[in-house]
Structure 1
Amino acid sequence: MKKIIFPIVLIALISSMGFSGCNSKNKKPVETVQKAEISLEDSLLNLVQYQTFQYFWDGAEPVSGMARERIHMDNVYPQNDQNVVTLGGSGFGVMAILVGIERGFITREQALERFQKIVDYLGKADRFHGAWPHWLDGPTGKVKPFSKKDDGGDLVETAFMIQGLLAVAEYYKDGNEAEQQLVADIQQLWETVEWDWYTQGKDVLYWHWSPNYGWEMNFPVGGYNECLIMYVLAASSPTHPISPAIYDKGWALNGDIAKDTIYYGLSTVLNFYEHNDDPIGPLFWAHYSYLGLNPKGLKDKYADYWKLNVNHATIHYRYALDNPKNHKGYGENQWGFTSSYSMNGYAGHHPGESDLGVISPTAALSSFPYTPKESMNVLKYLYLEADSLVGEYGPYDAYSQTENWYLPRYLAIDQGPIPVMIENYRSGLLWNLFMKNEDVKKGLAKLGFETP
C-alpha cells in the first residue's frame, strides 16, 4: 500500500491550525500542544470521513449511482459480483453523500445530480409490494438473489434505503425547482412501500417475500436487533401504516424485549438473547437504525435508547480490555466487534462465543457518538500506528492480529455508517434532518416515543 496517510494528515493539520512557525513560538507550550491535539483529531475525522464517503462517490456503480455491495482492492471477487448493488448500503451511502456536501468534498449541485440518478433508478428497479430486494444487478435494475429463496422484497433493506432518502428529502425540500422535484420523487417512493402487506395480516412484520417462494423464508422480525427503524417507518407511513399493536406484540414481544441483564457492569437495557447465545449483540445494532433516528432523548415504554447504545458500545470496549480469550492486540486502542469479513468468510462478531479475534474498525468508528474518547483511540491507532490497515476508502473491513490476517477489502454496509455516525457526533446533521420529517414525527408519537 502507498504510504499516503501521514502527508495528508500533516498537511490538513498545518492548514487547520492556521499559524506558522513564527507566531507559534509566542503561544504557551501547553496551549499549543492542546490545540495541536485537537487539530490532529479534527484532521483525522475529516480524513476518515472523506475516504469512506468516496466509497459511495467514486466507488459507486456507474449505471445506478448506487453502492456496490463490496469493493475488493485485490480484485478477487465471488463470481459475477462486481456490479451487484446493495439497498441497505446505498441507503447509508446517500446519507454519506450529504456528509460530503456539508464537509465540502462535493457541491450541492453535484450531489443533486447523483441523487436524481439514484432515485430515477430506484423508481424503475424491481420492487415487490413496494419493497426492493436486498441486492440488485446494477446495470439492469433486476433482482439479484441474496440466497435461493431470498429473491424478492426485503423490508429491512428497504427501510435502510427509505431512512436515507427521507434525510435527503429534508435537505432539499426548500430548494429550487429541480430539488423540489427530487423531494417529490422520493415521497412517491416512500408512499408506495406496502409496509402493512408485509404483516401477512398478523401482529408482526416479516422480513422477506418472494414471488417464487412466497413467505417461505418465514422471518418474523421481533426482539431487539438492527430493525427498529423498520417498525418506526412502518408506523410512520402515510399510505400503508401498521398499528401500534404490531410494534408492541411483534417487535416488543409483548414486553419481553425489555428483559435486560447486567454484562461488564452495565445494563443491556433490552433483551439481546433473542438472537444470540451471549448477552450483547454486534455493534451494527447500535448504528443502522440510528443513522437518522436520533437516540438522544429517545424513549418509549421499553427503553432509553441513548442509554441502550452507550452501554452497548461501552460493553464492547470493556470486553476488549478484559480480553477473556487473550487475543493479540485487544485493548483501549483496538476494540469493537460487528458482522464483517473474517478468516472464515463473513461472520457475526460480538463479545462471547462469537469472538474470533477479529476487530472490525466500523464498530468503534461508527460508535463515536456513544464513546468519543474510546473511538478516537481506535482512529488514531489505525491512521498513526497501523496505516497498512487503511486504504483508498478508509480502514479495511476487518483484521486479526491473533491470526496475522487482513485483506484489502470493503463492504458497503460497514463503510457507510462511519462517515454518517461521525457526522452525527460532530454536528448532528443526519439526526436533525431525519427527525424533522413530519411523517416520522407522527409515527414516533403513534408508537408512544418521547423524542429529543
Structure 2
Amino acid sequence: MRTFLTWILLISITIPAAAQKRPQLGDSALLTLVQQKTFDYFWSFAHPVSGLAPERTETPNVVTIGGSGFGVMAIVAGIERGFVTREKGLERLLKIVNFLAKADHYHGIWAHWIDGATGKTIPFSRKDDGGDLVESAFMFQGLLAVRQYFDKDTPKEREIRNKINALWRDAEWDWYTQGGQNILYWHWSPNQGWAMNHQVRGWNECLIAYVLAASSPTHPIAPKVYHQGWAVSNHFLNGRDYLGIKLPLGFDYGGPLFFAHYSFLGLDPRGLKDRYADYWEQNRNHTLINRQYCINNPKKFKGYGADCWGLTASDNHESYNAHSPTNDLGVITPTAALSSFPYTPEYSMQALKYFYNKVGNKLWGKYGFYDAFNETVNWYDHQYLAIDQGPIAVMIENYRSGLLWRLFMSSPEVKNGLKTLGFTSPAI
C-alpha cells in the first residue's frame, strides 16, 4: 500500500512546476529572498578569476563593467543582510579591485566588456573596442560606495580604500571631452580614436557620468560641460503631462524605466534638485507613468495590469530591446518594477507578489526572477542579465535602509562635485 507521503509526491510530480503553489511569505521575508537570490548571481555565478559579473548566464567568460559595478553594490547589501560575512565580502571585493587594476583601460576608463580571465578588452561592436565612459561610471559609483563602507582601521580595509582611490584618481574624465569640448563622449579607442563620436546628452541613464566627472579629484570637468552638454538636447526638458502625471525631463512617457535606476543606485534622489528638475519627482513620476500605461494597456497585451507592469530594456521573444510605452512589445521585465521599490513601494510589492505567486516557476530560477516574459506569446526567458539583476538587489536595499545611497553620498568628492554642478540635497 502506498503511503500518504507517496501519494503527495506523485501528485506534486504530475503538477507542472509553474502551477505548484508556492509557500506564502510575508513582505519582509519575500524582499529578503529576492535580494538573496539576486545577490547570488554576483556571488556564486561570478567569474572565478576576476570575481566580476558575467554579462549574462550564457556568456560566463564575458564580464561586464557596468553590471559588475551594480554587483559590487549588491555584495555590500549582501554583507549587511548577512548573506556573507564582512570578511568574505571584503576578500571578494579585493579580488575584484586587484583584477580591475590590471585589466585593460583607456586613460583610466575600462571597456564595456572584458575577458573575465585575462582582463583583455572584448569589443562591444566593430568600433567599440576601447574605453566606455558610462559603463565605467557605473563601476566607479559602486567602488566609491565600497570604499565608504569599509571604513575600519584594519590592514585589509585600508588596502581596499587605497586601491579604490588609486583607480579613482587614475580615471581621466576630462580626456573624454574630446579635446576640451563642453560635452562628454561615451567612447575612445586607441585603434579607432573618437570614431564612435557618441555624445552623452540627457535625459537617460547617464547622469552619474557627469556627477562623477565633476567629482574627480584629479581630472574633473568644468560645470559648463554639464550645462552646455548634458542638459542641451531635444530630449532633456519635458514638463508635459502623460496619463495625468507630469514628467519634468526626458522622452514622451519617460522612456525605459532603467533611466530611473542606473544613475540612482548610489546617487540619492531624495531631495536632489538642480535648476532643471527635482529628481525624486522625476523618477517617481516616470515610474507612475510607466505603470499607468500598463494598466491602460492600449495594445491589449495579456497579463498587463496593476499587478503586472514594468517596461524597460531587456531580452524579449525576438532578441533584445529597450521597452517603453512608446516601444511596447508585450514584454514585462521584473527589474522595472522591482528596482522601483523606493519610488512606488506599494505598487512594486503588488508586482513582486504577482511575479512570485502567480507567474511562479515560469519566471523564477536559481538567481531569482528571469529577465523578462511575454504572456501574450507565452514566452518566458531562461536567462539572467547582470545589468538587470544588480539594480533589483541594490534598490530594494535602498528602499529598506537607504544603505547604498548613504554610502555613495557620504563621499566628500561627490558632495563637492554635486555642489559644483549646482545641485542641492539634504545629503550634501
Per-residue CA distance 1:131-152 (angstroms, 9 max, x = gap): 0000001111000000010000
SS state of the match for residue 75, structure 2? helix
Q: 421, 425, 429: which one pairs with 2:403? A: 429
SS state of the match for residue 269, structure 1? strand
1:4 to 1:47, Cα distance in 2 relative to 1, 3 A: farther
1:379 counterpart residue number: 352
Tell whether 2:257 aligns with 1:283.
Answer: yes
Tell whether 2:197 aligns with 1:218.
Answer: yes
Are 1:255 and 1:302, in contact at CA under 8 Å, matched by a contact in 2?
no
2:75 counterpart residue number: 97
Tell whether 2:228 aligns with 1:249.
Answer: yes
Letter matched to residue 218 of structure 1: N
**Map 1:308-327 → 2, pairs under 5 A:** 308-327=282-301
Q: 172, 195, 216: which one pairs with 2:173? A: 195
**Map 1:299-314 → 2, pairs under 5 A:** 299-314=273-288
Aligned-pair RMSD on alpha carbons?
A: 1.6
State the identity %. 59
Are 1:248 and 1:255, in contact at CA under 8 Å, matched by a contact in 2?
no
Q: TM-score, normalised by structure 1?
A: 0.88
**Map 1:25-424 → 2, pairs under 5 A:** 40-71=26-57, 77=58, 81-200=59-178, 201-253=180-232, 257-272=236-251, 278-352=252-326, 354-388=327-361, 389-424=363-398
1:33 counterpart residue number: none
Q: Which runs of 4+ in 1 moved over 4 A?
A: 1-7
Distance 1:86 1:370 in 2: 27
Are 2:397 and 2:403, in contact at CA under 8 Å, matched by a contact in 1?
yes
Letter matched to residue 397 of structure 1: D
Distance 1:180 1:381 in 2: 44
Letter matched to residue 155 of structure 2: E
Residues paired across the two proteins, number: 409
1:266 to 1:431, Cα distance in 2 relative to 1, 3 A: same
Are 1:261 and 1:279, in contact at CA under 8 Å, matched by a contact in 2?
no
Distance 1:4 1:415 in 2: 25
Structure 1: gaps (5+ residues) = 14-39, 72-76, 273-277
SS state of the match for residue 136, structure 1? strand
SS state of the match for residue 386, structure 1? helix
Distance 2:153 2:239 in 1: 45
1:6 to 1:110, Cα distance in 2 relative to 1, 3 A: farther
Letter matched to residue 56 of structure 1: F
Q: TM-score, normalised by structure 2?
A: 0.93
Instruction: State the 1:407 CA deviation.
Output: 2.1
SS state of the match for residue 122, structure 2? coil
Structure 2: gaps (5+ residues) = 1-15
Instruction: State the 1:386 CA deviation.
Output: 1.6
Per-residue CA distance 1:215-234 (angstroms, 9 max, x = gap): 11010011210000000000
1:83 to 1:333, Cα distance in 2 relative to 1, 3 A: same
Letter matched to residue 225 of structure 1: N
Per-residue CA distance 1:372-401 (angstroms, 9 max, x = gap): 111001111111122121111111000000
